[in-house]
Amino acid sequence: MPAFSLEPEQTTWCAELRALAAERLKPLAERGEPGRVNRPLVAALGDLGLLSRLFEAGALDLCLLRESLARVCTEAETALALQGLGTHPVAAFGTPAQRARWLPEAAAGRAVAAFALSEPDAGSDAAALALDAVPDGRGGWHLHGEKRWISNAPEADFATVFARTTPGAGARGVTAFLVPADRPGLGGEPLDMLAPHVLGTLVFDGVPVGPDDLLGAPDRGFRVAMHTLNLFRPSVGAFAVGMAQAALDAALAHTAARPAFGGVLADLQAVSHRIAEMATRTEAARLLVHAAASAYDRGDPDVPRRSAMAKLLATETAQYVVDSAVQLHGAAALQRGHLLEHLYREVRAPRIYEGATEVQRTIIAKDLYARHHGERHHEEVRHHGEARHHEEQGHVSPRKEPAP
């Protein structure tokens, strides 16, 4: 069911993406080794022009890309998204030399990117990160510490790395660096996760970085991180909507054909009402994702709140829809290799990464209260200004004379 906000050419493009995913990308994904970077798949995304489109796209295009691929092949969706997440800081904040070196390689799928923000003790609280950038006395730094739960680590060819350049300064003391994988002192190992994603650690043992490696200004790396996350948060919601739609499609097909109690499962009101709820929540999440992405593309000031709302609703909705689809299928959905078994493992992580559900609620609430206090202050200033204007014009409010 297309959202009312999409133009016909957009819905046509989404259908073409799904066909490409089924014909060209899914076979490559199935031949990949779980938990390893699938370089033929990344290269195919480049050959099809999807990676270059990704780096040029606005937020709504990014969401349409991710939802369309996720409905057919979550591995292709994830490979595309990780290229975007790791490369966007270079595209948005990189120097001309950095952009010339890495953007063509990333867009062609020849260089794999990573976005290295999370640490063992700094996940949702990104301002608490502690990877230490120690000045080397010559205008550069040496990086010491560890990043954890980093997608494409440790196999990425380059990484956007966030390090602490000013101790005790919170978000104001973080700097972003572009770190090629061949830097001395850089290591890491893969992590074995519930869903076999390419996820691992990056260990920094005095890794040298210099002014030419900066992404943006020193101590302004938090802006780089938030600029990237504000763009990608709605598209995490789009990924979730794609999985929800795939689960809903599977549940519709199954319940319409599965014999039960002299009819089919769809004849049972409990089943049909569950399907209706799944469809309604999925469409509501899709519309909120599109609204947040459109707000980003327009440059609206409330993008952080809208992005948080989109990610929150869409990821929680996808969890509900996939779980409901498993329930309607029964034991068959739990068999290894079943679409829903795959989605059941895939759908859990988006509620955590790029800001957990609880963090999104905090972002939303803070913005709402700030707007509330701002509106009250504006109203008080307006009333004060009107009263002063009346006084200056010699107007006196009528008042009752005291009783004799």
> Which of 354, 358, 375, 380 does the annotation list as catalytic?
354
pLDDT recorded at residue 308 = 94
pLDDT of residue 399: 41
pLDDT in tens, 204-242: 999 999 999 999 999 999 999 989 988 898 999 999 999
| Active-site residue flag, 354 | yes
Amino acid at 125: D
Q: What is the pLDDT of residue 392?
A: 54
pTM for the model: 0.88
Cα angle value 119/110/238 (rounded, 5°): 60
Give per-residue pLDDT as tens, 242-278.
999 999 999 999 999 999 999 999 999 999 999 999 9
